[in-house]
Amino acid sequence: MGRLSVNLCGIELDNPVIPASGTFGYGREFAELYDINMLGTFSFKGTTKDPRFGNPTPRIAECAEGMLNAVGLQNPGVDKVISEELPNLKTIFHKPVMANVSGFSVDDYVYTVEKLNHEEQIGWFEINISCPNVHGGGMSFGTDPVQAAAVTEAVRRVTDKPIIIKLSPNVTDITEIAKACEGAGADGISLINTLLGMRIDLKKRRPLLANTTGGLSGPAVFPVAVRMVYQTAKAVKIPVVGMGGVTTAEDVIEMMLAGATAVEVGAANLVDPFACKKIIEELPAVMDRYGIDTLSSIIGGAL
């Protein structure tokens, strides 16, 4: 194991940096810019049972220190992901990849995971029960411990691969939901997804987003994310993947001190396509500055 390496649910990563789902597509565009095999892994675009066009436009709005998005899980559907996206992915990325799965019912999650389970390159499933930008599913599963546990338990029955449940910050007590998922068989928890927000067009006096509300991401949410990672890591015994406003190598170390085993980078990829590359390259120097020999040794160091 190298200085930067970590073990996520039994799978070794060369480093803990993971581009977050929805900000990295299926890797193709980024692979044209640099060798994405330098990443720990990446979480590919949220995949659903059926194709989704997503929400009507406008579905992106800027705000101070972040952005709002209401894309609405646009994706080609699981069959096309298997027939087109994954074969292409194998040619550009030679490590296990994280499959982000979303749905509108427990059966949807089970169907999609069961189909993807046969794909050799998929190392982990990141089960998204926290998307705030879809109706009739998504975040509703992640705000109720009983429903969160039901999805976790159902998915657990159809795969032996590690399942990491992605939780919503739009709740009163994040630990209650994390513990329910752990009890239902989750191998890990990832958080946070976006915070629910909105902007209003002053001239039109109407919401800027066609969906009215959207998910707030970017540096503005980082302190909230660190707090929730810290609380969750104290509450559960399974690994935590931290995300939310991460933009620098220092942010990665802060997340890991709060209890994260690995760290996802989201909105920063939309601002700078080289964001993850730069973070990985800068980590050794930042580690030296703070007297850190190995990243695995600092996980939960602030708990």
Average pLDDT over residues 35-55: 95
**Per-residue pLDDT at 50 exceeds 70:** yes
As a whole number, the mean pLDDT across the chain is 94
**Per-residue pLDDT at 130 exceeds 80:** no
In terms of pTM, does the model score above 0.85?
yes
Angle between the N-to-C axes of helices 145-156 and 174-183, in degrees from 0 to 180, rounded to the nearest 10:
30
CATH number for the domain running over 6-298: 3.20.20.70
The pLDDT tens digits for 68-106 are 988 888 999 999 999 999 999 999 999 999 999 999 889
Contact (Cβ atoms closer than 8 angstroms) between residue 18 and residue 39: yes
**Per-residue pLDDT at 135 exceeds 70:** no
| pLDDT, greater one: 130 or 129 | 129
Every domain of the chain and the residues it spans: 6-298
Which residues are marked as active site? 131
The pLDDT tens digits for 206-222 are 999 999 999 999 999 99
Q: Where would I find the H helices in the chain?
A: 28-31, 78-80, 86-92, 106-116, 145-156, 174-183, 222-235, 249-257, 268-271, 275-289
